[in-house]
C-alpha cells in the first residue's frame, strides 16, 4: 500500500511539473478565441505551410536516394560518407543561416573570391527551406535506411536473382516498403522545421513560431500568442500521432532479420562518380561549409573575440545542460519505475504524452512556463532566480524524451524475470528497481544525460524567452551577435556548438550502426 502511495505521489508531482504548462496553453488558447487583437493567423499559417511544403520536397529528394545509395550500392568513400551523412544534425539551422548570409549576400566573403560577384538575397522562403532541409534531412535518411535494411533487403536480394535492375528494385521494392520509415522521418523533420525560430527570424519569414514570439515580446498581445500556440500544438499532436502510427509504435530494428545477407550493387566508373557527387552535396552544404567557414572566421577574427563573453556563455550553457540533464535523468528514472511495476496500460500511454514534449515547439513550451512563472511569482516573489527555474523546467519538458528513450533502451535488455525473482524473495519493487536494475543500465542513463546536455547547448527560443537578465548561453550570444550582423565575433560560440553536437551524434550513430547493420556478402 505504501508503495502504491509512493507511485501516486511521484505521478502527481511529475504531472504537475511537466504537463501543467501544456494545459495552460490549451486552456488559455481556447479562452482566447475571439479576444485576440493583432492576430494574423492566415499569414503565419500560410508562411509555415510554404516552408513545410518546400522542406518536404527538398528532404525527399535528398534523403531517399541517399539512403538507397549508402545501403545498397558500392562506391569509393562509401563508409566515410555513411559517417558524414548523419553529421548535418550537428549544425543547428540558424548557424547555417548565418553562414550563408555571410557568404552569399552583398558584401559577403564570396565577393573577395569572385571579384565580379555582387551577392544575392537569400532571405526568403526558398533559401530558408533549403537551409532547414540540410539541417533535418538525416531524420528521414536514418529511418529510411533502417527500413531498407530491415524490411526491404531480403526482397531486393530475391528480385536481383530474378534479374531486376537496381532502378526497378529502388522504385518497385525499396520505396513502397520504406514508406513507413520515410513518413515517420518526415514527420520528425517537419516537427523540427515548425520548431525553428532562428532561421525564420533571421530571414524575416512569417511562420507560426515567429508569430508567437512576435506577439509575446514585441506587441504584447498575449491572447494572440495563446491562440497561435494552440494552432501549433494541434499541428504537432497530429504529426506526432502520425509518426507513431507510421512506426507502428515499434523500433525500426527487427532482430528477426539480423542474419539476412545481401550484396551491394557494383557501379561502373561513370555511375560511381555521379553517386559520389550526389551523396556529397548534402554533406558539403549541410555540414562542411558551415563547419569550415566558422573555423575560418574563428581564425581570422581570433583577437577580436570577447573571451569574457565566450567563457561566461560556455559556463552558463554547461550549467544549464547539467541541470536539465540531471532533471531529465531523474524524471525518466521515476517515470519508468512507475511504468515497469504498474499493471495499468495508462502509464504506458502517460510515457508517450511525456515524450511528446520533444515534438512541441520551444516557444510554445516557453509561453506556458512563462505564464506559470508569473502566477507563481505572485505567491513566491521572494524566491531567487525563479525565471532560471522556469527555464530549466521548460527545457526538461522539451528534452526529457531524449533521456527517456535512452533509459528505455537499457531497460529493454533487463529481463522481467529479475523482477519476478526479486518479488519471490520478498524484495519491494522499489528496492529491485533502484538497487538492482538501475546500476545495470547506468551507461544508458549517462548516454541520455549527455544527449540532453549537448542539445541544451544549441537550444534557442526557450532560452531567449525565459533566461534571467544577463544570463547568456552560447546560442543566445551567437543570436545577438548575428542580429547585429557580427557573426564573425560569435564564430567561437558557433564552432563550439557544432563540435559538441557532432561528437554526440557520431557516438550515437556508431551505437545505432551496431544495432541495424546486417551481415553483407563479401
* 486-498 per-position pLDDT tens digit: 888 999 999 999 9
> DSSP letter at 151?
I
Place of cell 550502426: 513
Contact 144, 67 (CB under 8 A): yes
Place of cell 547506468: 442
pLDDT at res. 165: 62
As a whole number of angstroms, the distance between CA 259 and CA 256 comes to 8
Place of cell 495499468: 344
Name, of 111-120, 345-354, 461-470, the range with top average pLDDT. Answer: 461-470
As a whole number of angstroms, the distance between CA 10 and CA 497 comes to 35
Question: In terms of Cα–Cα distance, which of 171, 184, 323 is closest to 245?
Answer: 184
Query: Given pLDDT bands bounded at 50, 70 and 90, which one contains residue 521?
Result: very low
Q: Higher-confidence residue: 391 or 514?
A: 391
Structural fold of domain 1-31+301-483? MetI-like fold (1.10.3720)
Beta-carbon contacts of residue 283 (< 8 Å; ≥ 6 apart):
81, 84, 85, 87, 88
- State in Å, rounded, how far the first CA of the chain is from the last one: 60
Contact 518, 260 (CB under 8 A): yes
Place of cell 479576444: 35
Q: Which of 3-12, 320-329, 393-402 has the lowest mean pLDDT?
A: 3-12
Q: Higher-confidence residue: 120 or 315?
A: 315
Q: Which residues of 21-47 are buried (b: 16+ CB within 10 A; e: fewer)?
A: bbebbeebbeebeeebeebbeeebbeb
One-character DSSP codes across 238-276: HHHHHHHHHHTTS-S--GGGTT--B-PEEP-HHHHHHHH
pLDDT at 8 over 80: no
Contact 229, 491 (CB under 8 A): no
* 109-160 per-position pLDDT tens digit: 787 766 666 768 888 999 999 999 999 998 889 888 877 777 655 666 666 6
Amino acid at each position: 500500500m505504501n508503495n502504491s502511495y509512493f507511485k501516486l505521489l511521484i505521478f502527481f508531482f511529475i504531472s504537475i511539473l511537466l504537463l501543467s504548462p501544456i494545459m495552460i496553453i490549451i486552456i488559455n488558447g481556447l479562452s482566447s478565441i475571439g479576444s485576440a487583437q493583432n492576430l494574423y493567423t492566415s499569414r503565419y499559417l500560410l508562411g509555415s505551410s510554404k516552408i513545410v511544403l518546400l522542406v518536404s520536397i527538398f528532404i525527399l529528394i535528398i534523403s531517399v536516394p541517399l539512403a538507397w545509395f549508402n545501403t545498397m550500392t558500392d562506391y569509393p568513400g562509401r563508409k566515410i560518407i555513411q559517417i558524414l551523412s548523419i553529421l548535418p544534425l550537428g549544425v543547428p539551422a540558424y548557424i547555417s543561416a548565418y553562414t550563408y548570409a555571410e557568404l552569399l549576400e552583398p558584401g559577403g566573403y564570396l565577393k573577395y573570391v569572385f571579384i565580379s560577384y555582387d551577392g544575392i538575397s537569400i532571405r526568403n522562403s526558398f533559401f530558408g527551406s533549403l537551409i532547414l532541409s540540410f539541417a533535418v534531412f538525416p531524420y528521414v535518411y536514418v529511418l529510411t535506411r533502417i527500413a531498407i535494411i530491415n524490411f526491404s533487403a531480403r526482397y531486393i536480394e530475391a528480385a536481383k536473382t530474378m534479374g531486376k535492375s537496381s532502378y526497378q528494385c529502388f522504385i518497385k521494392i525499396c520505396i513502397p516498403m520504406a514508406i513507413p520509415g520515410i513518413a515517420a522521418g518526415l514527420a520528425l523533420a517537419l516537427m523540427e522545421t515548425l520548431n525553428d525560430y532562428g532561421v525564420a527570424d533571421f530571414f524575416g519569414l512569417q511562420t507560426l513560431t515567429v508569430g508567437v514570439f512576435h506577439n509575446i515580446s514585441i506587441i504584447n498581445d498575449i491572447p494572440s500568442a495563446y491562440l497561435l500556440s494552440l494552432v501549433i500544438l494541434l499541428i504537432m499532436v497530429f504529426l506526432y500521432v502520425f509518426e507513431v502510427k507510421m512506426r507502428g509504435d515499434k523500433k525500426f530494428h527487427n532482430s528477426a532479420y539480423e542474419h539476412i545477407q545481401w550484396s551491394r550493387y557494383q557501379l561502373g566508373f561513370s555511375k560511381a562518380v555521379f553517386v559520389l557527387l550526389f551523396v556529397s552535396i548534402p554533406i558539403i552544404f549541410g555540414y562542411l561549409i558551415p563547419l569550415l567557414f566558422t573555423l575560418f572566421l574563428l581564425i581570422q577574427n581570433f583577437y577580436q573575440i570577447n573571451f569574457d563573453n565566450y567563457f561566461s556563455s560556455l559556463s552558463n550553457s554547461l550549467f544549464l545542460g547539467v541541470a536539465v540533464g540531471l532533471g531529465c535523468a531523474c524524471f525518466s528514472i521515476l517515470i519508468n519505475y512507475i511504468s515497469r511495476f504498474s499493471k495499468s496500460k495508462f502509464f504506458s500511454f502517460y510515457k508517450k504524452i511525456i515524450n511528446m514534449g520533444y515534438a512541441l515547439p520551444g516557444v510554445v513550451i516557453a509561453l506556458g512556463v512563462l505564464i506559470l512563472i508569473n502566477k507563481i511569482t505572485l505567491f513566491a516573489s521572494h524566491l531567487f532566480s525563479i525565471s532560471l527555474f522556469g527555464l530549466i523546467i521548460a527545457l526538461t519538458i522539451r528534452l526529457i524524451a531524449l533521456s527517456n528513450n535512452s533509459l528505455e533502451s537499457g531497460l529493454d535488455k533487463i529481463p522481467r524475470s529479475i523482477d519476478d525473482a526479486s518479488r519471490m524473495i520478498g524484495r519491494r519493487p522499489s528496492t529491485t528497481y533502484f538497487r538492482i536494475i538501475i546500476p545495470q543500465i547506468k551507461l544508458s542513463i549517462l548516454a541520455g544525460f549527455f544527449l540532453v546536455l549537448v542539445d541544451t547547448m544549441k537550444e534557442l527560443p526557450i532560452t531567449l524567452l525565459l533566461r534571467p537578465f544577463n544570463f547568456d548561453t552560447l546560442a543566445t550570444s551567437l543570436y545577438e551577435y548575428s542580429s547585429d550582423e557580427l557573426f564573425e565575433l560569435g564564430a567561437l560560440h558557433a564552432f563550439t556548438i557544432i563540435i559538441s553536437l557532432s561528437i554526440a551524434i557520431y557516438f550515437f550513430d556508431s551505437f545505432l550502426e551496431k544495432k541495424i547493420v546486417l551481415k553483407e556478402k563479401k
